[in-house]
Amino acid sequence: MRKLPNLKEFVNRPGREEFHNPLFSSLNKDIPAGIVLFLVALPLCLGIALASGAPLISGLISGVIGGLVIGLVSKSGTSVSGPAASVSAVVFLAIQDLGGFDIFLTALVIAGLFQVLFGILKAGLIADYIPTSIIKGLLAAIGIILILSQLKYAVGMELDHDRFSSFSEDYLNNAWKIVTLFFRSFTPGSIILTLVSLFILLFWAKTPLKNFKLIPPALIVVILGVVLNFIFKYLVPGLYLDSIHLVSIPKVDDLSSLITTPDLSAIGNVKIWTTATTVAIIASLSTLLNIEATDNIDPHKRKTPPNRELIAQGIGNTLSGLIGGIAITSVIVRSTVNIEAGGQTKLVTILHGLLLLLSVLFISSVINLIPLASLSAILLVVGYKLASVSLFRKMYAKGWSQFLPFVTTVIAILLTDVLIGVLIGSALSVFFLLRNNYYNPFFIENTRFRQGEAIKLELSNEVSFLNRASIKNALWSVPDNSKVIIDATFSSYIDQDVVEILRDFESTFAMEHQIDVNIIGLKESYDKGEGIDFEGKNLEKAVLKSSPGEILTYLKEGNKSYVKGNLISRRLRNKELTDFLSTCPLAVVVNCIDLREPLNMLLNTGIGDLIPIRSAGNAVSVPIIRSIEIACRNQGAKLILLMGNSGNSFVKEAIEAHQAGKESYLKPLIEDALVSKKFSEEDLKNKDPEDIANLITRFNLEFSKEKIMRDNPFIREQVEAGNLGIASAFFDRKTASVTFSELFTIEVSSGK
C-alpha cells in the first residue's frame, strides 16, 4: 500500500497556496471582467483621494500601481488592490499633521518597506486566526456601506447645504419647504438610469441572455447608461445628466504633471516614523482581512498566500510614495466586483490597472461620459449580495456564538471604521471561544462496573490551559468515596497545567476525600502536533480493501497509529451505529476472553470492520470454527485473524497449577502444548509462569490456525484460491504493539 505524505510536511510544503489558473487561461472571462472592474475602480480612486485630502490624481496613481505592480507580484487570483477607504482617514490626518503631501509620501515609502519586512517575517499568519463570523460581518458591513454611499448617486441627489441652513431659524414653519427642496434635489434622469440598470442586473440571469458570456451585464449597464444619456440630451432634455452626475477625471497634459516626489529631507522627523508605522500596521491588517474575506467568497475557494501579499503590498506602497500616490491595500469592493464580474485569474487586476493608466493618458474625455448612476447600480447590487437578508438569517441559524460576533462586527464597523469594528467583533468571538473551551474540554458520564458505579471523565482531543478552570471545578466537585476514571486515551495534546491538575487531584484531593482514581492514557509530556500523520486508512471505504493482504496491511498500520496515540474517538448514539454497518466486515478476529481491550482501538479500525469471536486460551472448537465459516461465507469477511495477548491470566493460572502438581479446570488450555513436547517439564516447572504463558499462547495461535485449515473444507478451499486469508497476531500489553504473522499458506502447512 502506498504510504501517504506526513500531514505536517504536506501542510508546510512550498507553494501549497499557489494553486491558481495560468494568467491567460480564461481570456473570454477576464477581459470583460477587467473592463468592468476598471469602470468601477475609476470613480472610487478619485473619491478616496478626495476623502484623503490628497490630489485627485494621486488616487489614480495608486489605482494603477495596485493593478499593474501589486497585480504582478501578488499570488492572489481574486484580490484587487488600490486606494482604500479603510486608511483614508489615517492619510487625511497624517497629511494635516505632517504639514504637506510630499512629507506624507516619505512616511508612505517607509511604511511600504515595513510591510515588506512583515511579509519576510511571515506576519501574515494573523489572517488564519480571524473567525469566519468576523469575515462575514466585515463583508456585510462593507455591503451596507456600499449601499448607503451609492444611494446619492443612484438618485442623482444635489443637496445644497447652504440653502438648507437658511431655514435653520424656523424649521417648523419651513418644514414643507425643506421637504419640497429635498425631493427636488433628486434627478429624474439618474433615477431612471438606476432603475433600468438594476432591472438588467437583477433579471439578466433569468433570461436567455445569461448564456452570452462574452460581455457581462455590468458592462452592458455602463454602455447602456452612456447611450440613454445621449438620447435624453436630444429627445428629453429634462432627463439629461450633466457633468456633476458623470465620471470626472482630470486632464493630463504631460507625464511630469502626474508625479509628486517625497520630501526625503524630512526623514529625521519622528512624526514621519510614527505615521509610517501606523500606516503599515493598518494597511497590513486591512489587506489581511480583505484577502481572507475575498478567499471566502471566491467560487474556486483559492488560498491567497498572506506573506506574499504583504510583500506585494509593501512594494506597491513604496512605489506609490515615490511617485505621488496614496496608501494602497487589498480592497474588498474591487475584489468583490472582480468575482461578481466573472474574473478567473489575476489578469483581471493587471488589465484594470493598465486601463486606468490609459484612461488617464488618452481617453479621459470618453470616460467622463459615463453616468455615476450606472456605476452606482452595479455597486448597489454588489452591496446587497454582501449584506443580503439571507446572510443574516443563516448566521442567526448558526446560534448566538456566531450571530452576535457577526452582527456586532457589522454595527461596530458602521459606527466606527473597519479595523475598530473587526477588533470589537473579534473580542466578542474570543469571549465565546473562552466560554466554549470552559464548558467543552471533556465528556462526563456515569459508568457501571462490576465493582459499582464510577464517574468517567473523557478528555477532548486538545486540552489547553484555557480548560484548566473547568476541569479543576469538575474534579474538585466529585463526591467523597466515589470512583473516578479519567480517560486521556483520545487526547493528542494536553497542556502541562492540566496534567499537573490531574496529578494533584490523584495524589492529594482524591486521597484526602477517599476517591478511587484511575487515570488511563495520560502521558507525562505532550508535544503540539506530535505524531500527526496524513494517513488515508481512516478515510478509505472498506470495499476498497479487496484482498486479504491489503486488509492485513491495514490492520498493521492501524496498530502503529494506536501505539503513536493517533486515535479517532467514536462516541456515537445508538441510532448512528447502523451507518457504519452498510459494508462487509474486513476480518473475523478470534481472541481470548482474557483480552478485554477493545479491538477497534488496538487496530484503529472503523465500526463494524471486525467480527470478534472469543475463545479461552485461543483454542478453537468445532462451534467456533463453524462461526468463523459463517462470518466469511455469509457476512463477507476476507481475513481470519487469531489474536493472542501477553500476560494471559487463564494460561498463566493453568501453568501455575501444573507447576504445583495440582489439577485445574484450565488444563485443557495448555494440553495441546504439553502433548506437542515442545515445552520440557524442566521449563514448565522452573521458568517464570508469565513467560511460559506467552510462549504457549503463541503455540495455541499456530495450532488453532492448523486446526481450522485441516477441519474446515470451505476455509481451506478459499485460502488456496486466494479469496480468504488467515494469520495470527500477538498483542504485547507492555508496548501496546501487535506483532502479526504473514498470511498462512498451504506450503507452510504441509511442511510442518
Query: Distance between CA atoms of 587 and 413, rounded to whole angstroms?
Result: 59
Mean pLDDT of 424-435: 80
**Confidence at residue 373, expressed as pLDDT on a 0 to 100 scale:** 86
As annotated, the residues of the chain forming the CATH 3.40.1050.10 domain(s) are 543-750
Query: Among 686, 646, 648, which residue's Cα sits nearest to residue 666?
Result: 648
**Confidence at residue 629, expressed as pLDDT on a 0 to 100 scale:** 93
> What pTM does this model have?
0.57
Query: Distance between CA atoms of 419 and 569, rounded to whole angstroms?
Result: 40
Query: Distance between CA atoms of 683 and 273, rounded to whole angstroms?
Result: 85
Architecture of domain 440-520: 2-Layer Sandwich (3.30)
The one-letter code for the residue type at 220 is I
**Residue 256, pLDDT above cutoff 70:** no
pLDDT band at residue 580 using 50, 70 and 90 as cut-offs? low
pLDDT band at residue 308 using 50, 70 and 90 as cut-offs? very high
As annotated, the residues of the chain forming the CATH 3.30.750.24 domain(s) are 440-520
**Residue 542, pLDDT above cutoff 70:** no
pLDDT band at residue 736 using 50, 70 and 90 as cut-offs? confident
- Report the range out of 105-109, 247-251, 439-443 with the highest average pLDDT: 105-109
Higher pLDDT, 752 or 375: 375
Mean pLDDT of 230-242: 89
Query: Distance between CA atoms of 631 and 639, rounded to whole angstroms?
Result: 10
**Residue 532, pLDDT above cutoff 70:** no
Contact predicate 66/310, CB 8 Å = no
Planar angle of CA 239, 240, 241, nearest 5 degrees: 115
**Residue 102, pLDDT above cutoff 60:** yes
Query: Among 678, 728, 668, which residue's Cα sits nearest to residue 704?
Result: 728
**Residue 451, pLDDT above cutoff 70:** no
**Residue 567, pLDDT above cutoff 70:** no
Over its C-alpha atoms, the chain yields an Rg (Å, rounded) of 37
**Confidence at residue 206, expressed as pLDDT on a 0 to 100 scale:** 81
**Residue 482, pLDDT above cutoff 80:** yes
**Residue 84, pLDDT above cutoff 70:** yes
**Confidence at residue 716, expressed as pLDDT on a 0 to 100 scale:** 92
Is 584 labelled a binding residue?
A: no
- Report the range out of 207-211, 522-526, 742-746 with the highest average pLDDT: 742-746
**Confidence at residue 528, expressed as pLDDT on a 0 to 100 scale:** 56
**Residue 726, pLDDT above cutoff 70:** yes
- Report the range out of 37-41, 330-334, 717-721 with the highest average pLDDT: 717-721
Is 592 labelled a binding residue?
A: yes
pLDDT band at residue 493 using 50, 70 and 90 as cut-offs? confident
**Confidence at residue 350, expressed as pLDDT on a 0 to 100 scale:** 93
Identify the weakest region by mean pLDDT among 53-62, 206-215, 396-405, 604-613: 206-215
The one-letter code for the residue type at 745 is T
**Residue 10, pLDDT above cutoff 50:** no
CATH class for the region spanning 543-750: alpha beta
Higher pLDDT, 529 or 359: 359
- Report the range out of 120-129, 180-189, 493-502, 651-660 with the highest average pLDDT: 651-660
- DSSP strand pairing (328-330 vs 516-520): unpaired
CB atoms within 10 A of CB 450: 4
Residue range 269-281, pLDDT digits in tens: 888 998 898 889 8
- DSSP strand pairing (610-614 vs 516-520): unpaired
**Residue 170, pLDDT above cutoff 60:** no
Higher pLDDT, 389 or 473: 389
C-alpha cell read off for 372: 455615476
**Residue 425, pLDDT above cutoff 90:** no
